Structure 1
Amino acid sequence: MSTDIYELSEAARQGNWSPLLREAEKVPSKHWAEDANCAAEDTDTFLPFGDGPREDPEEVKEQLGSELVRPLNLCNSCPLPIAARCLVDSIRHDDEWGIRAGLLASERSALRATWKDRVDEKAVQGALRGATAPLTKNERKAVIERFVADPALDPAAVARGLGITHEYLLKLAWRERQRSKQRASLSADQEANAA
């Protein structure tokens, strides 16, 4: 049985983004949308009235019914790598509206939330080595935590990777050490109370 976009999106929803991202990487061109089946279609076709990020997907499908057939069929006939790239790009850009990769806006809401919570290990490692790239809040937090935990890391490289000054990195590290001490103290208190 071949993998489809729904299987990839379900894995991502459960926190495993690797299969979806690997499939999307098979279409490296920034002009990937020109190869999508929807390229020559009116964009309004993919913006059904009544679908939005806070709607119930099943209710939207029931209410819009036949209005969704054409856009969903176009999406479902797209090659999987293009559909994966379409979905990943819509999530990366926090695109709340419209049908993307055969998923309604209301179906992508959970994926968008999961995306914001994820930590891309490659991005974290890159920032620790000084590579600059957009990082999520959780990825930035992971970089700071690892910097605090590993004194062998080069502060100048980590600051460059985060896009901040050396002084600000040291301030963030100090705050993280304070929070870490508070968590350790709270944990010790809880263990003492449990005994």
Structure 2
Amino acid sequence: MDTEAALTAFRDQTRQRMAMGIRELGVWNTYVGGDCECGTCAAVPADARDDDVAAERPPFAYTTGLHGVGHPELLVFGLSPASACGVLNAVSGWVHAGRDLVPGELVELDGRSLLIEAVPNPGEIFFAANGFYERPPEFSVLGLQVTWSDEAGRFAWEDGSLLDPADQPRPGEFRA
């Protein structure tokens, strides 16, 4: 099998897995960076990784599937894979139950405040979602950043916050 045929088969299989996940769970979560130990990340050869760049960027995760129900996709930064997917699954569950999240909205999940913010540059972040919906970056799916607070309800940019602002870039300050 030549390389192009193998890549096409891989993309088709990935798209099929994503579609099955979206049908079953409502969304497909994509996790990028951090200490991910999944089979895909582990398979990347050490000489093909740019660990210096990865170390400078916080891990992030985003959904694919909400665009299909007329809602922006969701993005969260600075959490472990399990925590990021937990937040995304819970918040996307609200959307599937009929809630429309809007920028500036403050919601609560498991005792933490979450601020919903518009992502001004979704074409530079939501690559898997745009690929799934066959949208070029300039006509990207829309995105909302779910910014989380510390246990006292303070966000990283607020006085007294226990959070590192580098873990949650402000909307528009990050691109993948």
The alignment's TM-score, normalised by the length of structure 1, stands at 0.22
Normalized per residue, the structure richer in helix is 1
Normalized per residue, the structure richer in strand is 2
The alignment's TM-score, normalised by the length of structure 2, stands at 0.23
